[in-house]
Structure 1
Amino acid sequence: MTSNSTVIESVTSDVESELCNLSLPLINNSPNSNKIDYSSVVQWINSFEFSRPKRNIARDFSDATMVAEIIKYYWPKTIELHNYIPASSLSNKISNWETLNRKVLKKLKLPLTKVTIKKLSMADMDAVCQFLKSLKCLVENDEHEKLIELEKSQTYPLYVIDNGEMVQVTENNTSRNKYLDQDVVRLINKLKLKIVDLEHKVDHLSTLIHVKDRRINDLQLQLNHTKKEKQ
Structure 2
Amino acid sequence: MLGATGQTPRASPPPLPPGALRGLCAWLDGLPLSRPKRHLARDFSDGVMLAEIVKHFRPQLVDLHNYVPTCNTDQKLSNWSILNRKVFHKLRLWVSETDIRKVVANTPGAIEPILCAVREKVTDGAAHHWDPAGGPWGHLDSRVQQLLEEKEQALALLQEMVKMKVVRLEHLVKLKDQRIGELTRAGGEPQ
Q: TM-score range by the shorter chain?
A: 0.5 to 0.7
What is the Cα deviation at residue 88 of structure 1?
A: 0.3
Question: For 1:154-207, what per-residue CA distance to the aligned partner results, in whole angstroms no more than 9, with x for missing partners?
Answer: xxxxxxxxxxxxxxxxxxxxxxxxxxxxxxxxxxxxxxxxxxxxxxxxxxxxxx
> 8 Å contact 1:36–1:126 — kept in the other structure?
no
Name structure 1 gaps, 5 residues minimum: 1-32, 147-231
Select the residue among 64, 68, 72 that pairs with 1:81. Answer: 64
1:45 aligns with 2:28: yes
1:94 aligns with 2:80: no
> 8 Å contact 2:54–2:122 — kept in the other structure?
no
Using structure 1 for the length normalisation, give the TM-score: 0.46
Alignment partner, residue 16 of structure 1: none
> 8 Å contact 1:63–1:96 — kept in the other structure?
yes
What is the Cα deviation at residue 80 of structure 1?
A: 0.2
Runs of 4+ in 1 over 6 A off after TM superposition: none
Counting aligned pairs with the same residue, the percent is 35
Alignment partner, residue 124 of structure 2: 141
CA distance in 1, matches of 2:113, 2:68: 23
Distance 1:120 1:34, change over 3 A: closer
Alignment partner, residue 53 of structure 2: 70
CA distance in 1, matches of 2:103, 2:126: 26
CA distance in 2, matches of 1:144, 1:75: 9
What is the Cα deviation at residue 124 of structure 1?
A: 1.9
What is the Cα deviation at residue 139 of structure 1?
A: 2.2
Select the residue among 17, 20, 23 that pairs with 1:36. Answer: 17
> 8 Å contact 1:58–1:128 — kept in the other structure?
yes
Alignment partner, residue 112 of structure 1: 95
> 8 Å contact 2:47–2:80 — kept in the other structure?
yes
> 8 Å contact 2:57–2:123 — kept in the other structure?
no
Aligned counterparts, 1:16-35, within 5 A: none
CA RMSD of aligned residues (A): 2.1
CA distance in 2, matches of 1:143, 1:126: 24
Aligned counterparts, 1:50-65, within 5 A: 50-65=33-48
1:124 aligns with 2:107: yes
Question: For 1:103-152, what per-residue CA distance to the aligned partner results, in whole angstroms no more than 9, with x for missing partners?
Answer: 11111111111101101111223110111111111123226849xxxxxx
Using structure 2 for the length normalisation, give the TM-score: 0.55
> 8 Å contact 2:42–2:106 — kept in the other structure?
yes
CA distance in 1, matches of 2:53, 2:121: 12
CA distance in 2, matches of 1:86, 1:72: 16
The letter for the 1-side match of 2:39 is: N
CA distance in 1, matches of 2:58, 2:127: 15
What is the Cα deviation at residue 36 of structure 1?
A: 3.2
Name structure 2 gaps, 5 residues minimum: 1-13, 130-191
Aligned counterparts, 1:177-216, within 5 A: none
SS of equivalent to 1:125? coil
